[in-house]
Amino acid sequence: MSKYPELIIDLKKLKSNIRQVKNKCMEEGVEIVGIIKGSSGFFEVAKAFDEEGVSYIGSSRVEQLEPLVGKVKAPLMMIRIPMLSEVSDVVRVTDISLNSEIEVLKALNEEAKKQDKVHKVILMKDLGDLREGFWSEDDIIEASLLVENDLSNLYLSGIGTNLGCYGAITPTEEKLNELVSVAEKIEDKIGRKLDIISGGATTSLPRIFEKNMPERINNLRVGEGILLAKDLKDLWGYDMSYMYQDVFKLRCEVIEVKNKPTHPVGEIFVDAFGNKPTYEDRGIRRRALLAIGKVDYAFTDDLILNEDGAFIVGSSSDHTIVDVEDAKRDIKVGDVLEFDLCYSTMVYITNSPNIKKVFID
Ligand SMILES: *Cc1c(COP(=O)(O)O)cnc(C)c1O
């Protein structure tokens, strides 16, 4: 088996990132769910979260949580609304799940009864991002009462919301106060305090940094902000210099280096993916061909090449073309070029069976 392409995952840097975010959140009375789906659920990543003492480990896929049963201390959280067809796995594998459908809650309750368990649930409130969650306040209150009073094998841990995913809605102090107000209405009706008010994901971390997280929000589900720590810097302008942005490094081998025209020669029709691209003619330039392609990372534009003077020209399924005309280094066949990842390329690369994964610590 070849050595490349390889993905280096630095668990020391990852653990440092986990500690930084966890400590900042702890100061504000917020516990962390370590979300592993961004790295396709790597066991080692889950272990790192566990060793740093996060309160829960969560994923959108039961399949990523299953290998962790009995291997980690943290309770496991299913963060995508369960499919009706997977409730038995959700109850068997996870301790707690996010929910938004009465029918699913009833099925989870029946299944928990069968497995002689009490399954915990967080009910999701949609505050405008328009992905999952109860839309009307009355509906989430009614569902809370149902869980609390009638579904004896479920325990209502609390409520939560998701923002900044589909609708790109910012988790402002105001938005999160809306969630707290719904929680307090539920508490009035059920006559007790909820354990968890889960105020979102990485995009809610600015409320921690700015110390304006509403008092009662006590849980965040964080993936990207720990694994990559890029978005809060690149998109929101926060100083993230105390975090490592290079937990993941992709290394690819050069298989051809030649001087070629920059404009294709002949009649241009469509490329490998049926697109009709345009090409800038920059004359003859030196380019390196890499043994990695779109099947591994899907989005060429999202790759971040770490090679002075070189830049990515394009790609097809299994090849990536890099312009090395002005590269500082004399790049030859057999050399290795390195890339940083962003969320989209991380998701694909970690999930690609072609990539060798190397964990260092
Ligand atoms: C993906 C996801 C998260 C984590 O998102 P990040 O941006 O990686 O922090 C949290 N909650 C839910 C419901 C999710 O689907």
How far apart are the C-alpha atoms of 226 and 244, rounded to whole Å?
9
pTM (predicted TM-score): 0.96
Segments of the chain scoring below 70 in pLDDT? none
Phi-psi label, residue 109: left if phi above 0, alpha if psi -120 to 50, beta otherwise: alpha
Say what the pLDDT of residue 322 is: 98
Dist. CA 190–CA 211, nearest whole Å: 30
317 contacts 294 by C-beta, under 8 angstroms: yes
d(CA 121, CA 50): 21
Q: What is the pLDDT of residue 273?
A: 83
Within 124-274, where are the H helices? 137-149, 173-190, 205-209, 224-227, 231-234
Contacts of 47 (CB under 8 A, 6+ apart): 71, 72
Percentage of the residues of the chain whose pLDDT score is greater than 70: 100
Which residue's CA is the nearest one to ligand 1's atom 14? Answer: 79
Q: What is the pLDDT of residue 72?
A: 98
- Structural contact between residues 124 and 132, judged by C-beta atoms closer than 8 angstroms: yes
**Cβ 296 vs Cβ 348: under 8 Å:** yes
pLDDT tens-place string over residues 162-208 = 998 888 889 999 999 999 999 999 999 999 999 999 999 999 999 99
Q: Specify the pLDDT at position 167.
A: 86
83 Cβ contact partners less than 8 Å away, ≥ 6 residues apart: none
Degrees, nearest 5: CA angle 89-91-93 = 60
| pLDDT computed for residue 166 by the predictor | 86
Whole-angstrom distance, CA of residue 166 vs CA of residue 132: 10
Residue position matching structure tokens 């003492």:
53
Tens-place pLDDT, residues 137-161: 999 999 999 999 999 999 999 999 9
Distance between Cα 129 and ligand 1 center (Å): 13
Q: Which atom of ligand 1 is nearest to the CA of 164?
A: 7
- The share of the chain scoring above pLDDT 90, in percent, equals 92
Q: Give the pocket of ligand 1 (CB within 6 Å).
A: 35, 37-38, 60, 79, 98, 162, 201-202, 221-225
Residue with tokens 């969630």: 179
Indicate the top mutation candidate among 49, 79, 100, 121 to test ligand 1's pocket, ranked by most ligand atoms within 8 A of CB. 79
Out of 221, 224, 232, 248, mutate this one to test ligand 1's pocket (max ligand atoms within 8 Å of CB): namely: 221
The tokens describing 8, both together, are 């280096």
What backbone phi and psi angles, to 5 degrees, belong to 277? -80, 165
Catalytic residue (choose from 22, 37, 47, 230): 37
* Catalytic (active site) residue 37: yes
- Nearest atom of ligand 1 to the alpha carbon of 224: 8
Within 231-342, where are the H helices? 231-234, 294-297
Tokens of 361: 């610590």
Q: Are 34 and 54 in contact (CB under 8 A)?
A: yes
Task: For residues 77 and 180, give the distance between their C-alpha atoms in angstroms, rounded to a whole number.
Answer: 21
Residue 197, beta-bridge partner list: 159
Question: What's residue 276's pLDDT?
Answer: 84
